Amino acid sequence: MAEIPAAPFPFPLDRGTVGLIVIDMQRDFLEHGGFGESLGNDVTRLQAIVPATARLIQGFRAAGRPVIHTRECHRPDLSDCPPAKLARGRPGLRIGDEGAMRRILVKGEPGAEIVPELFPEPGETVIDKPGKGAFYATGLGDVLSAGGITQLVFAGVTTEVCVQTTMREANDRGFECLLAEDATESYFPEFKRAAIEMITAQGAIVGWVAPVDAVLAGLGA
């Protein structure tokens, strides 16, 4: 066991059972002209965490620990996208519509792909998820069980939506969860702050938060 300095108190890292989940670092959310920007958001905030996220991924690879990537995307016929979600966004620039990177958040389209700087290596698991949380309607739980993973480090976007939702899902399933603070971001800085406060409240009710450098030091990377 190793101890990572974290909030609200040190995280007891088990190097033999920890895995990394990188949430939705996709072109449609991070790049100019994508779905995120079409909603009026400043995508440069999300772009800024790419270097720290890349260091975190490389650290897990160097330590021989699993790296799991997620992509929020839907079948081409949108049969897995409920009307309540499909209605989000500007008319003509909603999920499934043609955007700057072809059909928005549709599996197989350029905009739904992970940004090149963080692209999965051969053999790394990629989970395509139709919802905010990565456990809903996916095989993530089976992947973690098969790999003997009991602890999860999280990175990705956005902190208060898909990242926090997946952390809460993982917490309910008994995983110990740690969020890499400088490898996650929101379009709204106040939302990131609030999400971190909710995650770490009441003695790590959802999980812990620590900087990337502390996580890498704990891994011995």
- Which residues are tagged catalytic? 24, 129, 162
SS3 at position 3: strand
Residue-wise DSSP of 124-140: -EEEEESSSSSSTTSSH
Residue-wise DSSP of 38-105: HTT--THHHHTTHHHHHHHHHHHHHTT--EEEEEE-B-TT-TTS-HHHHT-SSTTSSTTSEEBTEETT
CA 83 to chain centre: 24
Q: Which amino acid is at 60?
A: F
What is the signed CA dihedral for 96, 115, 24, 50, rounded to 10 degrees? Answer: -140
Pairing relation of β-strands 125-129 and 102-103? unpaired
DSSP letter, residue 26: B
